[in-house]
Every structure is written in structure tokens, then in C-alpha cells.
Chain A
Amino acid sequence: MTSRIAWIAFNTFREAVRERVLYNLVFFALLMVASALLFGGISIGVERLFLINLGLTSISLFGVLIAIFLGIGLVFKEIEKRTLYTMLSRPVRRWEFIVGKFFGLAGTLVVNTFFMALGFYAALFYLARTLTAADASLLVAIYFIVLQFLMVTALALFFSTFSSPVLSALFAFSLFIAGSFAEDLRAFAALSQVGSTRWLAIAAAYLVPNFSALNVISSVAHGHPVAGALILDNTLYALFYAGAALFASILIFEHRNLK
């Protein structure tokens, strides 16, 4: 079982790194990081802050785009190219296929993030001519960005199990935006007086991914420490949420008529 999942994950990774869109997006992310060095120069006193904010935002946004663009085609492509049928005719279960696909894309994103983070730290080093212990705290923000990717990947995969790539992209991106307003939704729920509206708002607030808790870019840019409890809680939250989206994908895919 484990070897089959690993095999699918490895092949998904190999397929993903062949995608041109991946390299384009990584290139643009690195370009944004490099351009931060120029942008900082036209302002006053925010060179480092600008580099950190723009660098980490680029890693996050372009990573989300990669997750969505690659994730939405994960199942659809296999069906369209009919490779899925070959795979499922072997002793590969449907849930193994979904889990393998998830880990393959998640692995791709982790590797991408590693290279984008390298570029980011290179720019930071270029600006300050040194790296300090305080710069290591920026890794927490990058770690949270990876957690965010896991959630977006799981969501993109979820939509990919029952929808076309265009619609999947639309749904995943909308959910990403809604996730940025998750705390507003919760505040709305708290303010709501009507019972049904209140419960609907609460349900929506818990259903959409809460990305605001995972965004500590501004905080680490100012050198504010991130609490260990937040790191642990965010890790568990992201794993539970991605797990939920993954299990929902498995449920849908298991019952989908592929004929």
C-alpha cells in the first residue's frame, strides 16, 4: 500500500516538474523577490521590510497559484488521457490514487518553496551583506506558507475529483479569497442575532480555510516572535483541514462513476 502511494506520488512529482507553468511561476516569484531590492530604494527606511514583505508574499501567492494550477488537473487529466483506467486496473485503490496525488503535489510545492526561499535569503543577504539569527525567524512564516499550500493543494484536489479544471480553479481560488476573510466571517457570526443566519455564518466560518492565522509575514518582518503554541496549533489545524479535504476527495472519487 505504502509503496503504491509512494509510486503515484513520485510520478505526480515527476509529471509536475515537467510542467512549464511551474517554472514560469517560480521564475516570476524570484523576479518579484529581486525587484523588492529596487522597490525598497524608492521609499524611505523600509528596504529590508519591503524585501521581506514582498519576498514572502510572492512565495505565498505564486505557491498558491502553482498549487491551484497543478492541483486542478491532477484527476481530470488522468481521466482525459485515460491513464487512470490503466492505473486502476492494476492493484491500485482509488483512495491510494488520491493520497498519492496529494503527496506528489505537496512534495513539488515543498521543493519549489525551498528554492524560492533560497532566492529570498540570497536577496536578503545581498541587501544586508550578512544573515543574522533574527533572519531565521522568517522560516516560521515560510513554514506557515507551506502549511497554507497543503490546504490549497487538498482543496484543489478535492474540486478536481468532481469538476472540470476551469471550474476547479474558480472554486479553489474563490475559497482562497474567502479564506482570507475567515475571521470577518467569524465576527459576522458573532454579531448575528437571527439563529439560522448565525449558524450558517458559523458553519461557513469553519468550512472556509482560515488563512489569516497562517499569515504572519507582517509580524515576522517586524521581528516579532511567533509563539510556539501558535506554530503547533497552526500545524495541527492545517493538517486536520487538509485531511478533511483529502478524505472528502476520497469519498467523492470512490463513488464517482468513471465509465
Chain B
Amino acid sequence: MSVRKRTTVVSSVLLAASLVGSMLMLRRVDALRTGATLEEVLYVTSPRTVKRMSLGYDGLMADIYWTRVVQYFGRQHQARTRRFDLLLPLLDITATLDPHLIVAYEFGSFFLAQQPPEGAGQPDAAVDFAERGIRENPTEWRLYYHLGFIHYLERKDYKAAAEAFQRGSEVPNAHPWLRTMAAAMAQFGGDTRTARFLWQKILESTQDKLIRANAVKRLRALEVDEVVPALEARVQLYHQNNGHLPASFPEMIAAGYLRGLPRDPLGYPYKLMPDGRVEVESPDDLPFINKGLPPGRQPNFLYIPPPAKK
């Protein structure tokens, strides 16, 4: 082997070893400095300073900060932490950099509004943020919709929700169902049917894959939350009439209590437990459900069931 070839081989091996070594060390350093990267970014906490530092390219900077919001929220959410201290400052910077970044108001207010550990548990701040979005973009009817949604689901303020939907319905080119929502809020004060209506409309009104997937999951959860209590009521009816719990759903079908084998939205048959409870086959595939969970398992819900109709 010539000297040059030997040098090439040795250098290549050392290069690969050094790269692997640096990667491994960086992983160790990251493990020691959890969350440090983001904290460093927030050494600049003033939105106006960040705007000036962007040298006029504030649109790109806003996108970068919005991505940081998403990453930060995702990381905290994954860690099941109840603290989202940087969420509001990051959103503030994002909105200052680009006051027309609608998606930041839509999702940001939602991230803020949800109860921990699903969100920051700051529904009032979420309302302020959504109102800020509306002030900057008064013709974006979707922002009124999100505002109404926060009032409805997180603050249980149905009057404010109805107001928000009503204001949104007055925006030119607003979707007609905003008016329906305003009326529904005023009339019912919130129920599962309204929640289904909201998620269905989200599903129909967006092309974003993530939002659509989320809406589908929530609609499935709503279905499960409606079906499971209904099935359990049938089981109890069977118990009352026959003096014992049914052993299986086919037994109930044979006795005329059910028309067919009940299946969850994913197509799996519901499970009838020996104590008369009904469970879903695969709770991991049905996030956000409140009913049909195995004992001891906490609901992973973002949706809070509204109080019973008055």
C-alpha cells in the first residue's frame, strides 16, 4: 500500500471515528443540559429586539419562532410536564415578528388553553392571544371560531363563546356554520352534540393533515364516549331483567338487547368485561377517549365533556 493510500485510509477511519465520537458526546451533553437550547434563545426575551435583530427578514424569523413553539410544546407535552413557562413568551415573539401568521394564533391559543399536561392551562391568556390575532387580522373568521372554541371548551363561558361565534359570523365570507354555532351555544350551553359539530366542521374546513388527523381522532373519541355509556346502560338493563350480567355481546344479541356486534370507530368489537363494563379493544389507538378505558387508566383527553344540559 502506498503512503498516500495509507494516509487516505487512516484519515477516513479517524474521520468516521471522530464524527461518531462527537455525536455520542453531544448526546451526553444534551442529556446534561435539558432544555438549554431554548433557554438560550430566550436570552433575548424582548419581541421588539428580536424583530430588530431580524434585519427586516421578520417573516422568516417568525416561521423559525413558530417552529420553536411547536417543538417546545411537543417536547413538554411528550415529557408530560405541567409547566409551559416559555410558551407565552415564544408566542408573543412570533406574533410580534409576523402579526399575520394566522396558524400561530389558531394553534397557539389552543396550546395555551388546554389543561395541563395537555397544555399550559392558561385559558385567559389564550383568549387574550386569540383576541390579539383578531385585532391584527379582523377578516380571518377562523380566529373567531377558535376564540369561541376556547370559551366553550376551556372556560365554559357559553355566553362569551356565542358572542365570539356571532362576531365571526359577521365577517365577510365567513363560513355560514358560525352563525349556527352562535345559535347552538346560546341555546344549549354546550353538549356532546355541539362538540361533534365543531370537530366535524374543523375536519371539513382544513386541508392541514395534522389538524385533520386530530379532528378524526376526536370525532372517534366522541363516538366512543357516546356509545360506551349506551352499551353499559343496555348491559345494566339486561342485568335488571335477567338477574345476572351477560357473558358476552352475542348473548345480548340473542336476547334482543342489541341488533349486532358493537364495534368501535376503528372496527374492533367492543369488549364486555365480567363486571359489566365495556372497554375498547385498543385504547392506545383511540386517544382522547374518556369512556371504555381499562380500570386505572387515566383519560388522555383534550376534550372536556360539557355539563349536562340545563
Contact = CB atoms under 8 A, between A and B. Distances in A.
A211 B60 contact: no
B57 A61 contact: yes
A44 B101 contact: no
14 contacts: A44-B70, A44-B107, A44-B208, A46-B67, A50-B67, A54-B60, A57-B60, A60-B57, A180-B55, A180-B56, A212-B56, A217-B57, A218-B100, A224-B100
B107 A221 contact: no
A85 interface: no
A181 B211 contact: no
A223 B141 CA distance: 17
A217 to B, nearest CB: 5
Contacts of A222: 100
Nearest to B98: A218
A164 interface: no
A50 to B, nearest CB: 5
Size band of the interface chain B makes with A: 20 to 34
For the complex of A and B, list the 10 residue pairs with the smallest distance between their C-beta atoms, beginning with the closest. A218-B59, A45-B103, A53-B60, A43-B67, A180-B55, A53-B59, A215-B56, A57-B60, A180-B56, A57-B57
Given A49-B101, A177-B55, A222-B100, A42 B67 contact: yes
B107 A218 contact: no
A78 interface: no
Given A180-B56, A181-B52, A218-B59, 16 more contacts: A39-B67, A42-B70, A43-B66, A43-B70, A45-B103, A46-B66, A46-B67, A50-B60, A52-B59, A53-B63, A54-B60, A217-B57, A217-B59, A218-B98, A221-B59, A222-B100
Given A43-B70, A44-B70, A49 B208 contact: no
A254 interface: no
Contacts of B107: 44-45
Chain B contact residues: helix, strand, loop or mixed: helix
Contacts of A53: 57, 59-60, 62-63
B210 interface: yes
B71 interface: yes
Interface of B: 52, 55-60, 62-63, 66-67, 70-71, 98, 100-101, 103, 106-107, 208, 210-211
Contact of B63 (A49, A60, A61, A211): A49
A164 B99 CA distance: 42
A89 B178 CA distance: 78
Size band of the interface chain A makes with B: 20 to 34
A184 interface: yes
Interface string A235-250: 0000000000000000
Nearest to B107: A44
Interface string A172-192: 000001001100100000000
A224 B98 CA distance: 13
A184 B100 contact: no
Interface string A25-53: 00000000000000100111110011011
B140 to A, nearest CB: 11
Nearest to A50: B63
B58 A42 contact: no
Of B55, B62, B103, B211, most buried by chain A (CB within 10 Å of CB) is B55
A45 B63 contact: no
A212 B57 CA distance: 9
Given A44-B103, A44-B208, A53-B63, A218 B58 contact: yes
B110 to A, nearest CB: 11
Interface string A208-233: 00011001011001101000000000
Contact of A45 (B60, B62, B71, B208): B208
Given A181-B52, A218-B98, A43 B208 contact: no
B56 A54 contact: no
Nearest to A223: B100
A62 B60 CA distance: 15
Nearest to A54: B60
Contacts of B56: 180, 211-212, 215
A209 to B, nearest CB: 12
Nearest to A214: B56
Interface in A96-114: none
A57 to B, nearest CB: 5
Nearest to B61: A53
Contacts of B210: 44-45
A217 B97 CA distance: 13
A39 B63 CA distance: 10
A180 B52 CA distance: 8
A54 B70 contact: no
